[in-house]
Chain A
């Protein structure tokens, strides 16, 4: 799973968000390292929706602007949990090896 995809799913893990909400949350989660552009975000959401990992929860019109809220599906939660477990295992393997090599890891 690519990092932007992982971050989008993570942004939707606790609550449904609209497009700009996802952009903001991804920026926060990555400490400003990943900034999603609108076209890229919606292309990713379309792909994730087609894979059954996210779904549109509701739509709102605020100040004549359409806001569509996306949420993680059950399959999306499972996929994210699996990826998080994998990344954690890889990170701890890397830390173990680095310690063994005498490199300090925070």
Chain B
């Protein structure tokens, strides 16, 4: 059970990379590095997500060089998505009305939110959905249709394809 859980999580993580031998290679290395565990170490997960997203953003084939710009863009997009998710969560809670919500504007003009009284599950759920929606929209804007489909597909769907 633990092995299957680890495999499922490693496959999901390896999807951060474009389909191909590199994704399969990362999956195998994640499985080996985390043998005996039910989930990959947080450090491995963050590292693979960051480098995989950078590889996707650069649109390079696996095995070719990529430098710092892809990394920078990946980090920027993740930060942007988190900021937007926070704002969207505040709006979602405000619209559904389970708690008292205050929205404020930070000095730089971005929307910041202070939430009081909302049930934590509602807030986290809204934040998660908003984050996925923003990530899917970003992927679509970048022409990463498969990534967008992946983000909007039910979890546990097809693993990274590799046959060789």
Task: Say what secondary structure dominates the interface of chain B.
Answer: helix
Q: Which residue of chain B lies nearest to A68 when distances are taken between CB atoms in the complex? A: B25
Residue tally, chain A, CB below 8 Å to B: 22
A47 neighbours in B (Cβ, 8 Å): 65
Assembled-state Cα–Cα distance A59/B47 (Å): 24
A38 vs B33: C-alpha distance in the bound complex, in angstroms? 8
Is B29 within 8 A of A23, CB to CB? yes
Q: Please indicate the chain B residues that have their CB under 8 angstroms from the CB of A61 in the complex.
A: 164
Whether, in the assembled complex, A95 has its beta carbon less than 8 Å from a beta carbon of chain B, the answer is no
Top 5 A-B residue pairs of the complex, sorted by shortest distance between their CB atoms: A39-B51, A37-B47, A50-B65, A65-B28, A20-B32
Residues of A within 8 A of B (CB): 18-20, 23, 37-43, 46-47, 49-50, 56, 59, 61, 65-68
Q: Which residues of B contact A (CB under 8 A)?
A: 21-22, 24-33, 43-44, 47-52, 54, 63-66, 162, 164
Can you name 10 A-B residue pairings with CB atoms under 8 Å? A19-B28, A37-B48, A39-B44, A40-B51, A42-B29, A43-B54, A50-B65, A66-B27, A67-B25, A67-B28
